[in-house]
Amino acid sequence: MKKIIALLLALLCAASVLVSCTATSFDTVTLYVYNWGEYISDGSEDSLDVNAEFEKYCNENERIQQLTGGKKVKVNYSTYASNEDLYAKLDSKTVSYDIVIPSDYMVARLAKEGLIQKIDVSKIENYKYIDDSFKNLYYDENNEYSVPYTYGTVGIIYDTKKVTVKDAEERSWSLMWNENYKGDILQFNNPRDAFGTAMFYLGLDVNSENDQDWINAQRIMKDQKNVVQGYVMDEIFNKMESGSAAIAPYYAGDFLSMYEDNNDLAFFYPKEGTNVFVDAICVPTNAKSPELALEYINFMLSEEIAIANAEAICYASPNKLVYENEEYKAAMEEIHEDAMEILYGYDDSKMEYFHDLPDNTRKLMNDLWEELKIENDKGAAIYIIGGVIILAVIVIAVIVVINKKKKAKAY
C-alpha cells in the first residue's frame, strides 16, 4: 500500500509540473526578434528597456490582448553580427523569427528570394512619422517589405594619440593601408563592407558587375593584410575603446558610442567616398506572429521608444519624432559637440548605397573573400606551427643538457 501511495504522489507531482509548464506555454505568445548587436535600448546604463516596455504595453493594452486571445506577450531577443549571418539563418529555414532588421541591399535580396513578407503599412499608425526621403528607395520602391529603423554612414575611426595630425588630415582611405600603423589597424569582418573600403579607395564602383574590379580590390586587401591586426565586427568596441587598436572603418553611430568611453577617438568621412545605408524592420515569411510583429514595429516608431533607441545606439533616425526633438539634439551634443553634424550633416555627393549584387558577382565576392581569409588563416597557422617547432627544439635542447649533466655526475 505504501508503494502504491508513493507512486501516486510521484505521478501527481509530475502531472503538476507538466500542467505548470503547459500552462506557461499556452498562456504566452513569444515574439522572436533578431537584430544587430548593440542595436537597441536594452536597459543598460540607465537606458529604457524597450523590449520590456513592449511586453508591458501589450499586456496592458485591451486591443492587443484581444489579438493574442488574452495571452501574455514575451519578447525573445537575439543578435547577429552581419547581414550575411542574418541571411544564412533565414535561408536555412530552420529557425523562425517575427522581426529582423537587415540593411537595405539585404532587404532587396530577402524580398527577391521570398524570405520576407509584404507589410501593410496602413496598419502601422506611426509610419506617418518616417521622413519621405526614406520612402520609395531603391531596395523597396513601393514600401512593401520594410519600415526604416535607422540609417547611417561608414567612416574611419582613429586614435588621436597614435595617429598623426598630418595623416588624419589627409581624410583618406589610405590610412587603412599606412604601414606606419602596422598591427594597429582593424578591418571589417564581412565581405560587403570590407570590399567597400578597398573599392572606394581605388575609385571603383562598389556595385560593379565587372569581375576585374573585385579582383583588383582583393589584390590591395591582400597587401593590407601585412598591416591589419584583425578582422572584426562587434569586437571593435573593446579594441578601440581600450586603445588596443588605432584605426578602424566603422559606422558613424558606433563612433559616438565608443567616444563616450574614449575621448581620444576621432572620426572622418574619407574624401574618396563611402557607404550610406538604411537598416529596416522586416517580417520574415515564416513568422509565427505577423500581426504582433506589426504592433512591435508601430511601438518602435512611437516617440519615447524611438528617441530611447536613437540615444542608446547613437545612429541617425529617419523618424521626425526623433530628429526634430530638442531634448534629443541636446542629448546627442552632450556625447559629442559635432554629433548632429556627424549623423545628419554629411555630403550626399560622397555617399553610395550598396545594392544587391547579381548572383554571379556575389559568388565571386564571397569566393575572393574566403580566399583572402583562408590565406590569412594559413599565415597565422604557419606562425603557430613555427612557434611550436621552436618551443620543441628548446625543450629537447634543455633535456639533452640535463641528461649530459646527470651523466657527468654519475662519472
pLDDT (tens digit per residue) in 53-65: 999 999 999 999 9
Q: For the chain, what are the domain ranges?
A: 28-150+279-352, 152-277+357-377
Helix (H) or strand (E) holding 327: helix 326-335
Percent of the chain at pLDDT above 90? 83
Average pLDDT of every residue of the chain? 90
As a whole number of angstroms, the distance between CA 334 and CA 405 comes to 70
Tens of pLDDT, residues 115-128: 999 999 999 999 99
For every residue of 336-374, DSSP letters joined together read -TTHHHHHH---GGGEEPPPPPPHHHHHHHHHHHHHHHH
Query: How far, CA to CA in Å, does 343 sit from each of 5, 159, 251, 340?
Result: 71, 20, 10, 5
**Which CATH code is given to the segment(s) 152-277+357-377?**
3.40.190.10
As a whole number of angstroms, the distance between CA 47 and CA 249 comes to 27
Contact between 309 and 50 under an 8 Å Cβ cutoff? The reply is yes
The reply to whether 152-277+357-377 shares the fold of 28-150+279-352 is: yes
pLDDT of residue 398: 58
pLDDT of residue 391: 60
In residues, how long is the chain? 411
Q: Rounded mean pLDDT of 156-181?
A: 98
Confidence of residue 379 (pLDDT cuts 50, 70, 90): very low
**b/e per residue 270-303 (b: at least 16 CB within 10 A):** bebbbbbbbbbbbbbbebebbebbbbbbbbbbbe
pLDDT reading at 340 higher than 90: yes
pLDDT of residue 14: 44
Taking CB atoms within 8 Å and a gap of at least 24, the contacts of 339-348 are 339/256, 339/314, 342/252, 342/255, 342/256, 342/267, 343/152, 343/252, 343/253, 343/256, 343/314, 343/315, 343/316, 344/316, 346/153, 346/252, 346/269, 346/276, 347/269, 348/276
Q: Rounded mean pLDDT of 147-159?
A: 97
As a whole number of angstroms, the distance between CA 104 and CA 233 comes to 18
Confidence of residue 193 (pLDDT cuts 50, 70, 90): very high
Tens of pLDDT, residues 277-303: 999 999 999 999 999 999 999 999 999
Contact between 251 and 314 under an 8 Å Cβ cutoff? The reply is no
pLDDT of residue 406: 52
Task: Give the phi and the psi of residue 143 in degrees, each rounded to 5.
Answer: 55, 45
- Quick one: the chain helix, strand, coil %, rounded to 5? 55, 15, 25
Confidence of residue 7 (pLDDT cuts 50, 70, 90): very low
Tens of pLDDT, residues 209-229: 999 999 999 999 999 999 999
Confidence of residue 16 (pLDDT cuts 50, 70, 90): very low
Q: Which has the closest alpha carbon to 242: 177, 159, 156, 178?
A: 159
pLDDT reading at 342 higher than 80: yes
For the domain made up of 28-150+279-352, the CATH class stated in words is alpha beta
pTM score, whole prediction? 0.81
Residue 96's CB is within 10 A of a number of other CB atoms, namely 14
